[in-house]
Structure 1
């Protein structure tokens, strides 16, 4: 890469109108973040605990934007996919560990989101959810394999903007308790398994390994380089900090104001129950408006989430990561079609989504550690600034503590449950990988000769 390096410390100029028209890659991550999983988790938090978890909702937007900024920075400074960079700088084993971590988290999310999309479609139309699962899988495969990344980006920007506007409108009608909301800004996690699970789920919606790993590929699909650093920074701020932040905050405040009840348990809330509870506020059509919003969020999230495993696997195997490579196209279509299996899953949609987000958070500290190690090594020509490193360390620490709290609560609650055992084993494996990576970085940094 022979093009000159620019100042890459912030948004350093450019036309704001041009930024608004050209932004896009971070909106794909925002569409995945602002999907039914976050909606379910934030609604559950407000309905179950009132305003108590407002601080987690606010923190999730800030940390989500921080994570996207760091991954954006790595993608632009290397102008390569994250898996290729990891393989080149850290080794083949670390690259496979990252691929396995992200594919597992994205795959589980894909199945559960498709289950929700199929069930919501069935509720609206009366047609069997399994039929809808097959239909949506075929539509997803045809759209992605036919139009690729641009199809995902256009869908993401349109649907995320529409959902944000819808929830802002509903917030105007809801009586917010300012004193109680202010109390919710004091950090604390309600006692019990539900509190740890929901807190991990809220943060997992914004700071998720799929969002971190996909960013370098979506920017490459747009052809962005270091010359687009200002645009890319604006893209992250507009999508994750503003749009996603407003989205999650509005949903939470509505739930805490209208749905909160001592009788509500985190595992009992359903989409229809939440919609019906909004009836006195939004009118007789609240159920259908809510379900249509949930449907739109699920469609946009599925589109963004589907591209993650093909991006990572194709990059690791040395294939192209666009539709010009037939192998990538086939892999993309295969992942889309596989998601149809989710329509045949059992279990309630909202509790499963919360669990999937919390599970994804367990694998996220490893991805954050990978990005920080690469940004402070020879992979990039521009050293990471002290504020960027400080933000990354805070991001790593918060996600690690919340993930550990969730795993501890899950392990203590029911080790006889196979899913609980799987979560604990997965957490132990990713924890060992993270410690190994950080140990490798410390050893190499200490042993590196100091420049004269």
Structure 2
């Protein structure tokens, strides 16, 4: 791709109104971020630690926006899927590691999120959760295989907007303590809060969100000429919409709920007798909308990456990709039969995402500072990316340490093994960059 670097521009003056009607790809990422797993972490944080982790909630919105901006920049500058770029500029083995990382994280999340969606649907309607699991799986398969990405984007825009409105509205029926909330902006992690903090950040800075962005922009046929539009898309969805969603949920639960063993649906039900049925229903409907929108967005991630790695098309025009979409959607149905309380499962899923995310961030930074792109990353972009890498690595390490201290069971052992492999891969990738950097500079010099 031979594009002049002058094509990379910032937001055009007076173009915000024009951009608002064309946004989309980052809203799909926002739909996944603003899902029940993030909600579970926010509910747990507020119910167990009051306002103490508000600073993590605020940080997660900025961190999520920065991660999506870097992923967006890579996608627009290469105009290719991230897996193909990794394979060409880092190596095939690294591409497979990235695919495995994303597919495992997305696959585990899909099952637990389906459990949540089915449970909430059953609570609202009174019908069996298992039946709802089958229904939602069929809806996903038919919608995605029939209409592909456009179906996901439309649902994401509508549901994310509705969910944000629902939770922000709940702030007006729940008493907030401004002084205590302000105290929560001072960084500190209370005892036992590392996993929850990792879950909160993991909802915003997640490998599925980072890896999917190049594919969703390709589905919209965005190129480097849409740089300003893509920037506004990231800011509006991750910084504004996702930020409002996260802060609203956290403040509601921190203000009126104090229950260490609270469940996700139980959080909604507990609001009824405390502050009225309006808050209960707003919370319950918001949880249901978040679960359904997240299912749609999360379903498309593994097929995108697998199809790209196998050299297939990444639109429904390719029957092989369509089959991947339908298959992954249908495989989510068993999630409704997992059983047990989903709150702990959801928090662990996000913590798993946090463990896998530093590698994805390292990959993006590697590519943005290599010959893969026509314009090297800015100093400010690199500082932001390195800060993301350090923070996500630190939270992942805290999570691992808490798991070790609590004792290893099969599930946490699998997470620790997963994290250990990716930790080694991340360190190896950094070493590869340092080793290859001098030759990259020489190769890039004009003859």
Match of 2:199, SS?
helix
The answer as to 2:350 corresponding to 1:352 is: no
The superposition leaves residues 277-331 of structure 1 with CA deviations (integer Å, 9 ceiling, x where unpaired) of 2224652354444322211111100000000000000000000000000000000
CA distance in 2, matches of 1:22, 1:382: 25
Structure 1 residue corresponding to 2:424, chosen from 418, 432, 439: 432
Match of 2:415 in 1: 423
Match of 1:363, SS?
helix
Tell me if structure 1 keeps the 8 A contact 2:120–2:265. Answer: no
* Greater Cα offset, 278-287 or 41-50: 278-287
CA distance in 2, matches of 1:448, 1:90: 12
Structure 1 residue 16 displacement after superposition: 1.6
Tell me if structure 1 keeps the 8 A contact 2:167–2:282. Answer: no
The superposition leaves residues 352-411 of structure 1 with CA deviations (integer Å, 9 ceiling, x where unpaired) of 111100111100000000000000000000110000000000010000000110011112
Q: What TM-score do you get using the length of structure 2 for normalisation?
A: 0.97
Residues 45 and 324 (structure 1), Cα distance of their counterparts in 2 relative to 1, 3 Å cut = same
Match of 2:224 in 1: 226
Match of 1:338 in 2: 331
Match of 2:372, SS?
coil
The answer as to 2:89 corresponding to 1:85 is: no
The superposition leaves residues 31-55 of structure 1 with CA deviations (integer Å, 9 ceiling, x where unpaired) of 0001111111111101110000000
Tell me if structure 2 keeps the 8 A contact 1:311–1:321. Answer: yes
CA distance in 2, matches of 1:437, 1:370: 8
* Greater Cα offset, 13-22 or 88-97: 13-22
Match of 1:410 in 2: 403
Residues 287 and 181 (structure 1), Cα distance of their counterparts in 2 relative to 1, 3 Å cut = closer
Match of 1:239 in 2: 237
Match of 1:19 in 2: 19
Match of 2:99 in 1: 99
Residues 449 and 69 (structure 1), Cα distance of their counterparts in 2 relative to 1, 3 Å cut = closer
Listed as ranges, the gaps of 5+ residues in structure 2 are none
Match of 1:257 in 2: 255
Structure 1 residue 128 displacement after superposition: 1.7
Match of 1:278, SS?
helix
Structure 1 residue 133 displacement after superposition: 0.9
CA distance in 2, matches of 1:290, 1:143: 26
Structure 1 residue 165 displacement after superposition: 1.1
Listed as ranges, the gaps of 5+ residues in structure 1 are none
Tell me if structure 2 keeps the 8 A contact 1:6–1:227. Answer: no
Match of 2:178 in 1: 178
Residues 46-195 of structure 1 correspond to what in structure 2 (within 5 A)?
46-192=46-192, 195=193
Structure 1 residue 434 displacement after superposition: 0.4
Match of 1:395 in 2: 388
* Greater Cα offset, 10-19 or 100-109: 10-19
Q: What TM-score do you get using the length of structure 1 for normalisation?
A: 0.95
RMSD: 1.4
The answer as to 2:435 corresponding to 1:443 is: yes
CA distance in 1, matches of 2:113, 2:188: 29
Residues 217 and 176 (structure 1), Cα distance of their counterparts in 2 relative to 1, 3 Å cut = same
